[in-house]
Structure 1
Amino acid sequence: MPLDVICVGVATVDTIAVVPEMPGADDRVVAEPFVTACGGPAATAAVALARLGARVGFCGVVGDDDAGRLVRAGFEREGVDTTWLRTVPGQPTTTSMVIAARSSGTRAIVTTPQYAPGPQAVPVDAAAWLHADQTGYRSALTAARAAAAAGARRPKLSVDAGNPIPGLDLDGVDLYVPTTAALAREFGTDDVDDGLRAAAKAGAGAVVATAGSTGSHVLDGDDVAVVAPFRVEVASTIGAGDVFHGALLAGLVAGGSLTEAARLANAVAALSCRALDGRSAIPNRAEADAFLLAETPDARPPRHDTGDTHDE
């Protein structure tokens, strides 16, 4: 039976350092004990999907090093299918250093090169959806278009565009999910509704823009809706945007409307912020549903963003 989603892109191992203030040039600061955790936009989306009960796989590359083994073991522990996770001898796994400042809620990320799977490695016949981050976008789009040109069944394509994607082409993209800032940069307008409609005109089948402290903006057909955020006690927003993408797709594959899926995604992204890393506090579906029943979306600005922050 085909999977619900295969996530295509980068998987990383992150070292997270929490400091009182963001250091400047030549500063020396004392951090809280470092935390090591797996990350990456598509990879964290895959974990969120698995936690929420979706059948999900990951397509990407890691090295034959300790970090690569940690990535693979993490996926397997979560129930993410690693059939399409390739280990490349001699190639280092992508690693990142994340410096997070408690006083401002800001962060700085230093990452090593990211490696994409080739289009031929993307399994277009193995899932109903492909979900690609900025690293996997080009390969996923090329593979999906090739399948369509050959008359084969083409999976739906979801694109996480929170990070810059040079040469973005939305023709054939079924679900385009940028941040509101990325949407403004891409289409040259600060009006979110205008940006959503411009993205649809450019070819996107449906568009959701994440806005952190003000929730998410949904364009489905001709209708635009703002889906309010949820208020939680925040330890960190690392990976919250990546979690949002996975939860959004989990809501869709479970049969929800785009607006219903965005509400689920807002809640799951918020709950993921309860821990320092981007994964350990992602809820399962029962916990997410209980939260949605008990809580109401919060019109007040939350203490920190809960859906607009990406790992890489």
Structure 2
Amino acid sequence: MTEPYDLITMGRIGVDIYPLQTGVPLSQVDTFGKFLGGSATNVAVAAARLGRTTAVISRTGADPFGDYVHQALKEFGVDDRWVTSVAQYPTPVTFCEIFPPDHFPLYFYRLPKAPDLEIHPGELDLEAVRSARIFWMTGTGLCEEPSRTATLTALQARDRAGITVFDLDWRPMFWEKGARTDPAVARTSYAQALRHATVAVGNLDECEVATGVREPHACARALLDAGVELAVVKQGPKGVLAVHRDGTTAEVPPVRVDVVNGLGAGDAFGGSLCHGLLAGWELERLMRYANAAGALVASRLACSSAMPTESEVEDLLARG
């Protein structure tokens, strides 16, 4: 590679096994589709769909689902050179139920341990991480060793160079029992990561885990105080709030669509956020664009394969 990647993401990867029927519990589903999954992976796919050069740092099992992950990444134009296998753990699979417009239970199969939590600090290509225009990491990457130390090592290597995005990504079922029952236990790790990030993105639950407060503007202020330059607080049906350290604020409503499956919307938002940050867009345009990308995926069944192109996002915005 002669040029730095536009985006390197680090975190979850796996296979989504989603029902091809909506409004039906898993016990009654007859047909399923197989899709590339994992939030950090989907963000890389979303940005690649928008023309960005992307790569993922993660690990799979040494199994057929791991082979599928590599095949899918290549088909989406995402570099898979840092996706390696772990012999002792299977590639994770995730099932969901689809009850539009707002009920999408997830069932994670990541036991005895997910390979993407077996990323070791010594395996990282720190030069590539350091030179990427955007580096994206997640809260799940902090939930267990050695992934926690590897994630913090990557952040320290960046030393706030370029744009470093912390996807707050709170999944309590992945953490040790103490953090599951008391999210404040995870706050120390979140605080360490926030000191090295320039952008923080999360919904109200995730912001509360990171900061201890829940009111959107208070969340944004707390994230800025923790060290980031831009705080993005997703408020569900109330839209999204973004506050920059320079005082610029944007609060935009969601784009209304007929929701089919809301699970990939946040990842589409993330990939589009990276696209707009790289383009240097002003804050309100950036939030409107990312919202529209998320809405398009929410109107579709899958996650990775549903990520929109630039023309699709622009068309939706043009329709108002």
Shorter-chain TM-score: what band?
0.7 to 0.9
In structure 1, C-alpha distance between the alignment counterparts of 2:205 and 2:25, rounded to whole Å = 22
Q: 1:46 to 1:62 in 2, by over 3 A?
A: same
- What is the TM-score normalised by the length of structure 2? 0.82
Residues matched between the structures, number: 286
The one-letter amino acid of 2:31's match is P
Q: Distance in 1 between matches of 2:97 and 2:108?
A: 9
Q: What is the aligned partner in structure 1 of residue 137 from structure 2?
A: 132
1:201, distance to aligned residue in structure 2 (A): 0.5
Instruction: Report whether the alignment pairs 1:88 with 2:112.
Output: no
Q: Distance in 2 between matches of 1:145 and 1:266?
A: 30
5 Å-filtered alignment, 1:157-172, equals 157-164=164-171, 166=186, 167-169=189-191, 170-172=194-196
Instruction: Give the match for residue 45 of structure 1.
Output: 43
In the alignment, the residues of structure 2 paired with residue 77 and residue 48 of structure 1 have an alpha-carbon distance, to the nearest angstrom, of 13
Q: Where does structure 2 lack aligned partners over 5 or more consecutive residues?
A: 143-147, 173-185
* 1:245 is the counterpart of 2:270: yes
Give me the identity figure in percent: 28
Pair 1:215 & 2:239 matched: yes
Q: Tell me which of 8, 12, 15 is aligned to 1:13.
A: 15
Report the counterpart of residue 63 of structure 1 in structure 2.
61
1:136 aligned partner, one-letter code: G
Q: What is the distance in 2 between the residues matched to 1:128 and 1:63?
A: 29
Alignment of 1:254-273 (within 5 A): 254-273=279-298
Q: Residue 262 and residue 121 in structure 1: after superposition, are their counterparts in 2 closer, same or farther (change >3 A)? A: farther
Cα 1:64–1:185 change in 2 (3 A) is closer
Once the two structures are superposed, the pairs formed by residues 273-312 of structure 1 within 5 Å of their partners are 273-292=298-317, 294-296=318-320
1:103 CA drift (Å): 7.5
Show structure 1 runs of 5+ residues with no match.
24-28, 297-312
Asked if the contact 1:12–1:93 (Cα under 8 Å) also holds between the matched residues in 2, the reply is yes
User: Secondary structure at 1:189's aligned position in 2?
Assistant: coil
Q: Which amino acid aligns with 1:88?
A: V
TM superposition shift of 1:229:
1.2
Residue 161 of structure 1, CA deviation: 0.9
Q: Which residue of 2 aligns with 1:307?
A: none
Q: Contact conserved, 2:94 with 2:106, CA < 8 A, in 1? A: no
The answer to whether 1:144 aligns with 2:155 is yes
Contact 2:140 2:169 in 1 (8 A): no
The structure-2 alpha-carbon separation of the partners of 1:103 and 1:160, relative to structure 1 and needing over 3 Å to count, comes to closer
> Does structure 2 conserve the Cα–Cα contact (< 8 Å) formed by 1:100 and 1:108?
no
